[in-house]
Amino acid sequence: MSSLAGKVAYVTGAARGQGRSHAVRMAQAGADIVAVDVCEQVAEFSGYPMAEPADLEETARLIESEGRKVLTRQVDVRDLAGQQAVVADTIETFGRLDVVVANAGVCNWGRIWEISAEQFQETVDVNLTGVWNTIKATVPAMIEAGNGGSIITVGSSASVKAPPGCGHYAAAKFGVVGLTKALAVELGEFGIRANCVLPYGTNTALGNDTSMYKLFEQYPTYVYSYPPNLLETDALVEPAEISEAVVWLADDASAVITGAQIPVDKGFLAR
């Protein structure tokens, strides 16, 4: 369980859900953690609330209970200077940065030509530009440290299969795959890997948001884009199950894997 001993991991959207699970799982594997989350109600178009400061405190408590150190910061991933300041604090506190999990994201629903410009922009700003901000803030420090490393971006099944009702979300998540593949090409010479995980239907506030059902009532044929998964479908995937893929990508067990997209989806994308 100490495959990440001596390493430092930076996780966005770490206050709850998948981000918290990744942070705690990597702490169990021996990493010290930098846990970043906005912890404010900044997602105007999402049908579920964002995390609260108490959620981030609970993530920190869980990491410390694993015997690891944690740095928490309330920063919006859309704030590049804010993320750069966290990275400066990371290097000052821990002296290195080895793993990045660009996980923060929002989801909301509507047909492509009916959503507002503001809804489109918010979704792309958080889910794609936010990931680019995380990369821009963290990569120079990783190169400078010269220890190699692993960057894991969080896409979605919607990164490769466009679902109806969230085309703007899919556009951003397709973009995350393109960004990650290009990053893998550019970072190979520095021994830094970049891979993307593609979750589907995960048991979090985002994954349990029921707003999509209203759209499906209006446009019943949309449901055909969501066939049964290959594996049993009576429950959503648990964040801890996504974390197993993330910790594998973070540590040296996956040392020869880069530029890949890993579905963690009970076979949804394979049908």
Hey, which residues does 36 pair with through a beta bridge? 12, 73
150: β partners: 99, 193
Q: Which of 169, 200, 213, 219 is catalytic?
A: 169
- Separation between Cα atoms, residue 271 and residue 255, nearest integer Å: 29
Closer to ligand NAD by CB, 30 or 47: give it: 47
Q: Closest separation between CB of residue 154 and ligand NAD, Å?
A: 4
CB of 151 to ligand NAD, least distance (A): 14
| Four-CA torsion 207, 194, 244, 19, nearest 10 degrees | -40
Catalogue the long-range contacts made by 50-55 (C-beta closer than 8 Å, 24 or more residues apart).
50/106, 51/13, 51/15, 51/16, 51/17, 52/15, 55/15, 55/16, 55/20
Footprint on residues 49-78 left by ligand NAD (CB under 6 A) = 50-51, 76-78
Number of residues that bind ligand NAD (CB under 6 A): 33
Residues in 184-223 at the binding interface with ligand NAD, rule: CB under 6 A: 199-202, 204-207
Q: Cβ closer to ligand NAD: 107 or 135?
A: 107
> What is the footprint of ligand NAD within residues 136-155 (CB under 6 A)?
154
Which residues, 97 to 136, sit near ligand NAD by CB under 6 A? 103-107, 126, 130
195-93-249 Cα angle (round to 5): 15
12/195 with CB nearer ligand NAD: 12
Active site residue 219: no
Q: Which residues are catalytic?
A: 169
